């Protein structure tokens, strides 16, 4: 027999991560395990918010007033106080008129991750500036959460934008059970936050987030936007994570099919991705291409007349998809015609050096995400090679938008996203047709020719402004939000 009042209090759910949870104490600054979440949760170190004698605390009640409201309940006007609408700043985003759109945004990537910092938070801040009321649910990695400075900076940024943040614990191992646990936890939080905030829409970034929304038991009329960040099952097969046609592959592909059926609209990064989804499901919901964008206010070209000290630059991780040895070989060849040492900005410093990026001609270092723009301004061009598999046709590397916004031409390989139809046609880069010394020399010479053209920097910047700007991406999402709302709930159009 169900206990009385459980439905009224909301689902049992894990505790929100919070700065107070990382303070010194009997757990040494680690996330404290929950004693009420069962054997599996204890094994995975599931953090949970409790109340003395009453079990797990419901997320529907929001954080307690005072210090526990630091992360905010601004969107709902509860907790530590209400957040007043900000004055519109001309030139940033169009002014908003009409009733607010209420959105629960779900990201399995942490807002403290580099990807979340560049491809989640700036969009949400922009949308909040257009009057969208946002609750962000993200899964934060414990090793990033305990670092106080970036966490405090992010909390302040979200609070100033009146964005409510519900950070949950990300679990990594064992891989499949940990992900399933996160899906169950996330589903409860999504349902609770939709009811608490009265959200009209759930924006799901990726397949795992979409699975959470599908399992949330959303109220009738709540729309779901499926933001497809890649062809997940194809990517895992191509990297050898699992076998095509195996049990896990079949289950994931079935989940992807359910995601497409449940979605009210779909966003993809590239035109080939849209074509691939239409091949899978001819009756695809409305689908829009919105590439990864860059904040043009942060990524700006170097001042005229300033001589860069580096030649080629690379920024980002050196994970499974990046062809690190081929990149090192190309950089070595290109350094003969592109003046300056090679600059590699990555958290994987040792991996870069093992791949052949020698300190005699390449500088490899790790820098905080907010310092990447100023380091890119010290270079002449950007380069990267990504394994050209069918799944990567759906990808749009973030570093492409950031480089173009900085005025840097780009050297890359064919077979990735829309690069084949953008770089050379628009005069903003060079494509490598194969991974041979001859191709490296040809592409390097093409890049050197672009660098001698005084109009290249302006051409790169114009393309970033027209196609890859954060402002255009925010406007596209806002337009899609409004189109998804029932007619009676749509905000008035801007004058």
Residue 87 CB neighbours (<10 A)? 5
Domains and CATH numbers, the chain: 14-23+31-52+98-291+473-489 (3.40.50.2000), 310-468 (3.40.50.2000)
Question: Are the C-beta atoms of 264 and 223 separated by less than 8 Å?
Answer: yes
The answer, yes or no, to whether the previous bond of 214 is cis (omega within 30 of 0) is no
pLDDT, position 490: 56
Low-confidence stretches of the chain (pLDDT < 70) are 1-99, 487-495
Residue 411: both structure tokens together: 């050297």
Residue 42: both structure tokens together: 């204890």
Question: Are the C-beta atoms of 367 and 386 separated by less than 8 Å?
Answer: no
Q: What is the DSSP letter of 352?
A: H
Name 116's Cβ contacts closer than 8 Å, sequence gap at least 6.
107, 109, 110, 138
Question: Are the C-beta atoms of 375 and 343 separated by less than 8 Å?
Answer: yes
Q: For the sheet with 410-413, list strands across it.
A: 362-365, 341-345, 310-315, 381-384, 410-413, 429-432
pLDDT, position 32: 37
Q: Report the SS3 class of residue 219.
A: coil
Which residue in this structure is represented by tokens 């903003």? 428
CA 288, CA 18: separation in Å to the nearest integer?
36
Q: Report the SS3 class of residue 112.
A: coil
Q: What is the DSSP letter of 245?
A: T
Model confidence, pTM:
0.76
pLDDT, position 236: 76
Q: What is the DSSP letter of 460?
A: H
Question: Are the C-beta atoms of 472 and 462 separated by less than 8 Å?
Answer: no
Question: Are the C-beta atoms of 114 and 143 separated by less than 8 Å?
Answer: no
pLDDT digit string (tens) for 391-413?
888 889 999 999 999 999 999 99
pLDDT, position 492: 53
What is the number of alpha carbons within 13 Å of residue 472 lying toward its C-beta?
Answer: 16
């Amino acid at each position: 027999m169900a206990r009385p009042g459980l439905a009224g209090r909301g689902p049992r759910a894990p505790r929100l991560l919070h700065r107070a949870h990382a303070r010194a104490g009997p757990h040494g600054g680690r996330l404290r395990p929950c004693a009420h979440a069962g054997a599996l949760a204890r094994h995975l170190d599931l953090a949970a918010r409790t109340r003395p004698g009453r079990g797990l605390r419901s997320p529907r009640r929001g954080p307690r007033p005072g210090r526990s409201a630091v992360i905010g309940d601004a969107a709902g006007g509860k907790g530590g106080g209400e957040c007043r609408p900000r004055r519109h700043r001309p030139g940033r985003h169009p002014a908003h008129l009409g009733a607010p759109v209420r959105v629960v945004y779900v990201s399995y990537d942490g807002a403290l991750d580099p990807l979340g910092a560049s491809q989640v938070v700036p969009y949400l801040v922009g949308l909040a500036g257009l009057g969208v009321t946002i609750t962000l649910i993200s899964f934060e990695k414990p090793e990033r959460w305990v670092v106080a400075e970036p966490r405090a900076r992010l909390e302040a940024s979200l609070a100033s934008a009146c964005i409510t943040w519900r950070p949950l614990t990300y679990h990594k191992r064992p891989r499949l059970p940990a992900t399933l646990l996160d899906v169950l936890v996330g589903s409860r939080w999504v349902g609770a936050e939709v009811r608490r905030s009265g959200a009209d829409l759930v924006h799901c970034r990726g397949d795992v987030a979409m699975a959470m929304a599908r399992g949330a038991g959303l109220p009738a009329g709540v729309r779901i936007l499926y933001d497809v960040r890649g062809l997940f099952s194809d990517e895992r097969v191509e990297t050898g994570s699992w076998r095509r046609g195996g049990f896990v592959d079949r289950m994931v592909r079935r989940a992807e099919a359910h995601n497409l059926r449940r979605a009210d609209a779909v966003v993809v990064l590239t035109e080939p991705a849209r074509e691939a989804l239409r091949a899978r499901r001819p009756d695809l919901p409305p689908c829009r291409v919105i590439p990864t964008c860059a904040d043009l206010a942060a990524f700006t070209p170097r001042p005229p007349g300033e001589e860069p000290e580096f030649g080629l630059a690379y920024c980002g991780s050196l994970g499974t998809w990046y062809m690190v040895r081929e990149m090192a070989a190309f950089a070595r060849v290109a350094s003969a015609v592109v003046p300056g040492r090679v600059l590699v900005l990555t958290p994987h410093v040792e991996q870069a050096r093992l791949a052949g990026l020698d300190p005699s001609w390449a500088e490899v270092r790790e820098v905080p995400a907010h310092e990447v723009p100023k380091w890119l301004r010290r270079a002449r061009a950007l380069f990267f090679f990504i394994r050209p598999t069918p799944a990567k046709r759906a990808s749009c590397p973030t570093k492409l938008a950031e480089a173009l916004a900085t005025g840097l031409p780009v050297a890359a390989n064919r077979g990735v996203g829309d690069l084949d139809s953008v770089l050379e046609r628009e005069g903003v880069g060079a494509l490598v047709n194969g991974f041979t010394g001859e191709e490296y020399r040809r592409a390097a010479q093409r890049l050197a020719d672009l660098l001698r053209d005084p109009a290249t920097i302006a051409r790169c910047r114009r393309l970033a402004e027209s196609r890859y700007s954060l402002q255009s991406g925010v406007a596209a999402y806002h337009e899609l939000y409004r189109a998804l709302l029932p007619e009676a709930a749509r905000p008035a159009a801007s004058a």
